[in-house]
Chain A
Amino acid sequence: MIILKLFFSFLQIGLFSVGGGYAAIPLIQNQIVDIHQLMSLAEFTDLITIAEMTPGPISINSATFVGIRLAGIPGAIICTLGCIIPSFIICLTLSHFYYKYKNVNGVQIVLSSLRPAVVALISSAALSILTLALFNATKSQADISNFRWVESILFIISLFVLRKFKPNIIFIILGCGVLGTIIYQIL
């Protein structure tokens, strides 16, 4: 039963991938390419490219893609479910305790020193995605020769509009998409 195999594979992937999408990629490769040999490495590389290009969490994207290619729509649903179930159970338990004890003085003290770290991690992610947007390369490969001025101008305008007018973020993202594509078509 391929469906059952897929379900248990993605259950394991969901359970053991700590730290998000990029942590899940090697696990998916191990389960799907190496152990069960359901996909070739070339197909798997395509899958990662697509999962990174499209919106949404990388692991959900990959689960859907693997599922639909190997077992159609039911496969897509089963793989995604497998990937989500561990998250759901673990985070539900954690939320329960978090909301119950978060106002306890001691817990507050511990959480207070955690928050600056989260701010730092968000800032670091912000700089990484900014490099990706302005150079179309990761931070180690970014080079002044592939600097993109269209994206830079879009970024500056967007940031200004965001801070000044606090618009709906979807307009900002879509606006950049439409405006940028038009500019590149004209150029």
Chain B
Amino acid sequence: MKINKKKNSINFKILWTLFKTTFTISSFTFGGGFVIVSLMKKKFVDNLNWLSEEEMLDITAIAQSSPGPIPINAAVMLGYKMSGVLGSVIAILGTAIPPMVIISIISLFYNQFRENKIIAISLQVMRAGVAAVIVDVAINLAIKVLSTKKIIYVILMIISFILAYFFNISAILIILACLSIGIIDLFIHSKKGNR
């Protein structure tokens, strides 16, 4: 049950990778929280193997349900896992600095920025790449859920998808509903265990 956390020794290499990765992800992410969470999954789970896919999904659920910007929430949790409070601070810095710098520069000449055709086009075409990344992540995650071969999880996934995409039900309501189902599931399990 112990996570391999070395006490009192600060691992600068991990902190640097944490900063570098959150910094690059934040520099290239357009759109809402789930986009950045997909990029984080790609980097921290697939490339760096720092955490498991399940942990990333849990972090996403918690980040989505807590107040504040979702990327910052996810960064706090990721950073904490890697090197405690210091890790959280580093991950926040990595996530917050790129937009702060970009916006500060743009605010100086935002009329020109808004009306520049080339900037508008390059921002629009980059979305195709971002869409490819998040679709790729979604496909892999969905395959994982299907391969558990547990009907209840597959049904939960399909219903949640329909509610979110076609009925625009807010993410937090869907998460709360599934949380309640999880708690009911827990009661059923514990009753079975008692007998």
Cβ contact within 8 Å between B66 and A129: no
- In the complex, the answer to whether B98 meets A55 with C-beta atoms within 8 Å is yes
Report yes or no: A122 in contact with B136, Cβ–Cβ below 8 A: no
B157 lies within 8 A of A119 (CB): yes
Chain A 141-159 interface residues, beta-carbon cutoff 8 Å to B = 150-152, 154-155, 158-159
Q: Are B145 and A92 in contact (CB under 8 A)?
A: no
| Contact of A91 with B62 in the complex, beta carbons under 8 Å | yes
Decide: A129 near B134, CB < 8 A? Known: A54-B99, A154-B125: yes
Q: Which residues of A contact B121 (CB under 8 A)?
A: 180-181, 184
Q: Within the complex, which residue of A15, A73, A118, A155 is in contact with B131, where a contact is CB–CB below 8 Å? A: A155
A26 an interface residue at 8 Å Cβ cutoff? no
Chain A residues with Cβ below 8 Å from B77 are 91, 94-95, 98
Determine whether B147 belongs to the interface, using a CB cutoff of 8 Å to chain A.
no
- Produce 1/0 per residue, A75-116, CB < 8 A to B: 011001001101110111011101100110010011111111
Per-residue CB contact flags for chain B residues 30-69 toward chain A (1 = under 8 Å, else 0) read 1111111111001100100000001101111111111111
Given the complex of chains A and B, what is the CA–CA distance between A60 and B85 in angstroms?
Answer: 21
B171 within 8 Å of A (CB atoms): yes
Question: What is the interface of chain B mostly: helix, strand, loop, or mixed?
Answer: helix
Known: A56-B98, A59-B69, A159-B132. A117 touches B103 (CB 8 A): no
CB distance from B103 to the nearest CB of A (A): 4
Query: For the complex, what is the distance from the CA of A106 to the CA of B81, rounded to whole Å?
Result: 21
Instruction: Select one of A55, A60, A68, A110 contacting B186, CB under 8 A.
Output: A110
Question: Which residues from A are CB-within-8-Å of B88?
Answer: 88, 91-92, 95
Residues of B within 8 A of A110 (CB): 179, 182-183, 185-186
- B68 x A180 contact (CB < 8 A): no
Chain B: which residue is nearest A56 at the CB level? B99
Contact A64 B100 (CB under 8 A): yes
Contact indicator A128/B114 (Cβ below 8 Å): no
Q: Which chain B positions have C-beta within 8 A of A19? A: 64, 70, 170-172
The CA-CA distance from A64 to B102 in the complex, in Å, is 9
Which single member of A54, A115, A162 contacts B133 (CB below 8 Å)? A162
Which residue from A46, A116, A169, A173 sits with its C-beta under 8 Å from B114? A46
Residues on B facing A (Cβ under 8 Å): 1, 3, 24, 26-39, 42-43, 46, 54-55, 57-73, 76-77, 80-81, 85, 88, 92, 95-96, 98-100, 102-104, 106-107, 110, 113-114, 118, 120-139, 141-142, 144-145, 152-154, 156-161, 164-165, 170-172, 174-175, 177-179, 181-183, 185-186, 189-190
25 A/B residue pairs, CB under 8 Å, sorted by A: A53-B114, A54-B123, A84-B72, A87-B72, A91-B63, A95-B81, A102-B58, A110-B179, A113-B153, A113-B182, A114-B58, A114-B179, A115-B58, A115-B61, A116-B145, A119-B157, A120-B159, A121-B160, A125-B134, A130-B131, A132-B127, A132-B131, A154-B129, A172-B129, A176-B125
